[in-house]
Each structure stands twice: as structure tokens, then as C-alpha cells.
Amino acid sequence: MKKIFQASLLTVAMFGSLSYATYSWISPTRSVINKITNDNLVYTPRNGGTYKVMYIPEFDELRKDLGAVINHDDGFVQIDPPNTPLKYQGQCVSLVKALTYARHQTSQWKPGPQVGVDNMRPGRAIAAFNSYGEYAGHAAILLSQDSEGITVFDQNWLEDQRVAIHKINFKTLNKGKGDGDITNAYSYFIIK
């Protein structure tokens, strides 16, 4: 369990240029996902729905390793990087920044490989981008991908700003460009 939350959460991938870096989190195993979801069902993407993530002591490792601020007053988890201003606490970007060290502003984020088009490993930090290559309003950690869509670990998908696991389906493909629709899995790209 401890292995999942170690400090080596940042992965830098070089693709012909020193300026290309992607951020990733060590993806939790299926048993960890089952442990942190909020019901007694075994979680799989096929079950559908949105699962709020319950607090477990292993989240304290994030606090130690990353300095992440973990709120779990109601039993469910909210994760923010250290010193996050109040207006940004509980936002999707805060979770991605806390888990991946991708601490630069979203205006500096650029789309890397496209979800659903390019093959990618779980644990990658992804975000929705519009057709101009600008951040379009949602970021997450990719857990899995299948022919119907992607399963993500994110924050602020639900109104209470808690961490959740859920599926985002593929809709219209605009290869190489997002459409800015955060409910379309094809709008998501690896953050670089």
C-alpha cells in the first residue's frame, strides 16, 4: 500500500525534446480503488456511476510525501497542494497539482497525446482542451481507458468538491484537437 503513495509520483518522459514533460501519478491498484469507493460493490468501469472516495489512512502518506492538504471532515476526501488559496481548494486542478507536482498555471498547460487516439498508461495527468489548445475547464488522473471512454480519479466533478472515480464517455472525435466539452473523453489530452 505504501508503495502507491511514495514520493516518486512525478514521471518525466522525454520525446525528442527536453521541453516535453508529462506528469503522472502512480495509479492505484484495483484493490485500493475498491477500498476507497463509497459502497460495497466491487468497482469496475462497467458498473458505471460516480464513486466518492472515502478517507483511508493511506492518504496520510500523501500528506507526508507531497505536503498535500487532505480534508476528510465528512469521511470523504478532498486533496489540495500546500498553500492553496481558499477559492481554489477542492478544484480539479488542485488535485492534479497535488498528486503530480504539475504546479504551473493552467494557462501554461499544453495538450500532449490525445486520450482515445494515442495509447497511454494509467496514472497520467490529463485535462480537457479546446480546439485552440487551451485548457477547457477540467483535469483528472487517468485510471483506465476502453472502447466506451475513460475512467478517471478527479475532484470537483460532484458539487461537494470531493474526490471521485467515474467514467467519461467518448463522443465526437476531432483528431488532434479537443472540443472543450469536459463530458467528451476525446477532449482530454495528457498535460505537458
pLDDT of residue 64: 74
pLDDT of residue 26: 47
How far is residue 39's CA from residue 134's CA, in Å, rounded to a whole number? Answer: 36
Q: What pLDDT, on the 0 to 100 scale, is given for residue 48?
A: 61
How far does the chain reach from its first CA to its final CA, in angstroms? 28
Q: How far apart are CA 180 and CA 71, in angstroms?
A: 30
Residue 65's pLDDT is: 73
Q: What was the pLDDT predicted at 126?
A: 94
- Those residues whose C-beta lies under 8 Å from the C-beta of residue 13, and which sit 6 or more positions away, are 20, 21, 22
Residue 58 has what pLDDT?
Answer: 74
The pTM of this model reads 0.77
Residue 108's pLDDT is what? Answer: 93
Domain boundaries, the chain: 2-191
C-alpha torsion 182→187→191→192, nearest 10: -140
Instruction: Give me the pLDDT at residue 7, please.
Output: 24
Predicted pLDDT of residue 1: 28
**Hey, which residues does 78 pair with through a beta bridge?**
71
pLDDT (tens, 9 = 90+) of the chain, 192 residues, equals: 223 222 222 222 222 222 334 555 544 445 555 555 544 544 454 556 777 888 877 777 777 777 788 888 888 889 888 888 999 999 999 998 888 867 789 999 999 999 988 777 788 899 999 999 999 999 999 988 888 999 898 999 988 888 888 999 999 888 878 888 999 999 999 998
